[in-house]
Structure 1
Amino acid sequence: MDDLITDSRYSWVRLGLTLFVATVINAGMWAIIVIMPAIEAEYGGTRAMVSLPYTLTMVGFAFGNYVIGRAVDHFGITASLIVAAIMTAIGFILATLSSSLLILSFTQLMVGFASAVGFGPLIADISHWFVRRRGIAVAIAASGNYLSGAIWPILLAKVLAENGWRAVYIVMAAVTLFAVIPLSLALRRRLPQQVQTAAQNTSLANAKTVGLSPRALQYLLGFAGIGCCVAMSMPQVHIVAYCVDLGFGPAVGAQMLSLMLLFGVVSRIISGLVADILGGVQTLLIGSSLQCLALFLYLPSGGMVSLYVVSLVFGLSQGGIVPSYALVVREYMPAKEAGARVGFVMMATILGMALGGWLSGLTYDLSGSYTLAFLNGIIWNSANIAVIIWLILRSRASMSASAAA
């Protein structure tokens, strides 16, 4: 019976709809980057002040993953998407009415919070509809965030050039309402109770092998997520500035960032396929180890060609890490709490990105180069790897003890 519901034709149709919704609603996270130069021209201020709207967008996005994830557990994905779409559109409209940079920043907090529905909450929802192919399904759903970042800046650039940043936000408000709400109604189907019960029993059985409570495991995964994303943020946040320091210019750095994101999508798909064979924990270990190796490769890479190559390698290594956390949550934590648990870990990874971007900048300010910033990322990445290895060894020891008994 379960096989007729999970991994079914409907599951794949639902996944396609989920990817489309994620690509639209996640634009709330990327639109601020598109309009930032226009904001600086209108409001003035230092570069740090102009960056405040983006910072608050990410803060809202982080906490939205957890809060909306909990709402999905209680009210379902359709109701959560409708409310979040309305909130995102209102945030966009309020932003167009802002008379100061500070007011705009707080409207971005709302936009970031609401648009988070397109990341952790949607990932948690689609994970219920797959068992055998859950890895690739989660990877595809998570790719909506990267696709949104690749598509919307290009589409909105012409609107910005011809009509200004307020027109960009009005367009995004309309697109969000008229695309997300109808599609959310197509996702209103709920899983039968027997399928939910079977998933709950499986996750509880897996959890016993780790010997940790769901809350303890959640916090441990949250720490690991912060560690890997502090490391991940160094190239992603500072690659443009790094290229400027080396004399290559911002355009080259932007191309390297695009290369990372493009191959990050490839990495997510490959990692999803691997996870369906090895499981979330093993896939997470592979991705984190490859990311650490890529960070080491940045240290001797000072030439333009070598940096392009290493950035490609970095994108291939890191893209599948964050979706792997969602898989670990689904494998070892109660299925009925998937939205809140996945949302919490996604929140931790996003906060790790924010912390890592700041730490890398601080390290650069203190040392005058990015060498120590890369080393700082490697240290955090190593802590992340240590946590994953500890979980694997603990699980294997528990299973060996059970077999011996």
Structure 2
Amino acid sequence: MTDQTETDSRYAWFRLCVTVLVAVIANAGMWAIIVIMPAVEAEFGASRAAASMPYTLNMIGFALGNFAIGRALDRFGVAVSLILAALGIVAGLVLAILSHSIVMLSIAQLIVGLASAVGFGPLIADISHWFVRRRGIAVALVASGNYLSGAIWPMLLAGVLASDGWRAAYTVLAVVTFAGVIPLAFLLRRATSDATRDAAQLASTLNAQSSGVSPRVLAYLLGFAGISCCVAMSMPQVHIVSLCVDMGFGPVAGAEMLSLMLLGGVGSRIVSGLLADRLGGVRTLLIGSTLQCLALFLYLPAGGLISLYIVSLVFGLSQGGIVPSYALIVREYMPAKEAGARVGFVLMATIMGMALGGWMSGQIYVWTGSYEWAFINGIIWNGFNIAIMLWLLLRSTPRGPRITSAPAPQPA
């Protein structure tokens, strides 16, 4: 039985608003490297593949951070995790500002990515404890903080980048992170009750038994599925600015397409969250993955400026709900007391897929001189994800936790 006075309560919605704001700030370092990639390539005289390495290290750090900070969240709570991570983000940004080589910048981005992860998986895991009826939309909104960050910060930093260079843009990020995340962390100190966690634990146990798959095996399957879908997802998200530069449209057009793509992703995540509250995580993820695959096909014939804007929006509207659905599947099938570590592990795999896909796309470009085969590579990986979700869907039908009213008091 779930305590209705705690989950889906007014405080839970207040906490959700604060959490989304923290996510928008904390995730900024993840997206900034994409915007400055052409400037870094020019400054250091690096190849396209070499210039992609800071992003790849950034995403590797982001992946590891989701798992490591997720485990810390289970033990120490979200407030302590946020404060320490904010200090880590600032330290990484400062090191990046002082960088004078691709290697040094890559190391700095590894630190930034590691600490920035607090704004994704750990926050998603935390907010999932506070909702039952509306868990899908709550998780989707927190996950949207990552995309909102990607939509807002590239546009805000584009002007600073053009006038003062990428180091000035990173200075702005360092100040905003320190002044924003740490004070907000103190608003998230409260934890859910043992009764709420016990009810969620019972529901996940029943679902795991119905699937006939152990949590460990399921985690590995979800991990590979996450890698597959995000290798596909990374091609447009990571290389859209560089693609626009190659086609003569300039980095500003690329930054606008990235923002449009991610704003579409925000809308997609919200709709997917509402859908997940009715259909569950597996079905919602399968729908999103199929739509993403179709959108990737649309990039192949797109060669004009207007068509790229339109396809980027379509892509964002197609794939935004995929990654949050993994967190919902974890909460449906895995122990509630391990939510931080379990969600962190699966989301770590999705981000590793982004890192792998970002590097693969750059390397394919080096080999072929275009991005066409990089899109085809993404489509193939996307097919693996669809196959796994279909298999899991046929194995079981997840059930949500029961919510009942508190018993009426008995007469003396």
- Superposed CA offset, 1:294-352 (max 9, x none): 22333444454444333322111101101111111111111111111111111111111
Counterpart residue identity of residue 77, structure 2: G
Task: Return the offset for 1:66.
Answer: 0.8
- Superposed CA offset, 1:229-278 (max 9, x none): 11112222334455566665655444433321111111011101101111
Tell me what 1:177 maps to.
178
In structure 1, distance between residues paired with 2:108 and 2:168: 16
Q: 1:150 aligned to 2:151? A: yes
Q: Which moved more, 1:116-125 or 1:246-255?
A: 246-255
Distance 1:251-1:110 versus aligned 2 partners, 3 A rule: closer
Counterpart residue identity of residue 296, structure 2: L
Tell me what 1:351 maps to.
352
Identify unmatched segments of 5+ residues in structure 1: 400-405
Task: Return the offset for 1:366.
Answer: 4.4
- Superposed CA offset, 1:200-252 (max 9, x none): 11111111111111111011001111111111122223344555666656554
Counterpart residue identity of residue 121, structure 1: P
Distance 1:165-1:346 versus aligned 2 partners, 3 A rule: same
Q: 1:132 aligned to 2:133? A: yes
Superposition misfits of 4+ residues, deviation over 6 angstroms: none
Q: TM-score under structure 1 normalisation?
A: 0.90
Matches within 5 A, 1:241-390: 241-243=242-244, 251-367=252-368, 369-390=370-391
In structure 2, distance between residues paired with 1:303 and 1:39: 26
In structure 1, distance between residues paired with 2:169 and 2:297: 40
Distance 1:382-1:104 versus aligned 2 partners, 3 A rule: closer
Counterpart residue identity of residue 85, structure 1: A
Q: Which moved more, 1:370-379 or 1:163-172?
A: 163-172
Q: 1:196 aligned to 2:200? A: no
Distance 1:74-1:231 versus aligned 2 partners, 3 A rule: same
In structure 2, distance between residues paired with 1:242 and 1:91: 28
Q: TM-score under structure 2 normalisation?
A: 0.88
Counterpart residue identity of residue 214, structure 1: P
Counterpart residue identity of residue 315, structure 1: G
Tell me what 1:116 maps to.
117
Q: Which moved more, 1:20-29 or 1:96-105?
A: 96-105
In structure 1, distance between residues paired with 2:156 and 2:380: 38
- Superposed CA offset, 1:75-123 (max 9, x none): 1111111111111122223333445443332122111101110011111
Distance 1:129-1:354 versus aligned 2 partners, 3 A rule: same
Tell me what 2:70 maps to.
69
In structure 2, distance between residues paired with 1:165 and 1:359: 25
Tell me what 2:406 maps to.
none
Distance 1:231-1:4 versus aligned 2 partners, 3 A rule: same
In structure 2, distance between residues paired with 1:290 and 1:113: 30
- Superposed CA offset, 1:103-157 (max 9, x none): 3321221111011100111111001100110111111101111111222233334
Counterpart residue identity of residue 88, structure 1: I
- Superposed CA offset, 1:1-39 (max 9, x none): 611100010011000000011111111212334444555
Distance 1:158-1:380 versus aligned 2 partners, 3 A rule: closer
In structure 2, distance between residues paired with 1:373 and 1:51: 14
Q: Which moved more, 1:357-366 or 1:282-291?
A: 357-366
- Superposed CA offset, 1:353-378 (max 9, x none): 12223333444444555444333222
Distance 1:117-1:155 versus aligned 2 partners, 3 A rule: same
Identify unmatched segments of 5+ residues in structure 2: 400-412
Tell me what 2:404 maps to.
none
Q: Is the 8 A contact 2:35 2:255 kept in 1?
A: no
Q: Which moved more, 1:26-35 or 1:109-118?
A: 26-35
In structure 2, distance between residues paired with 1:164 and 1:242: 21
Q: Secondary structure at the match of 2:189?
A: coil
Q: Is the 8 A contact 2:48 2:362 kept in 1?
A: no
Q: Which has the higher helix share?
A: 1
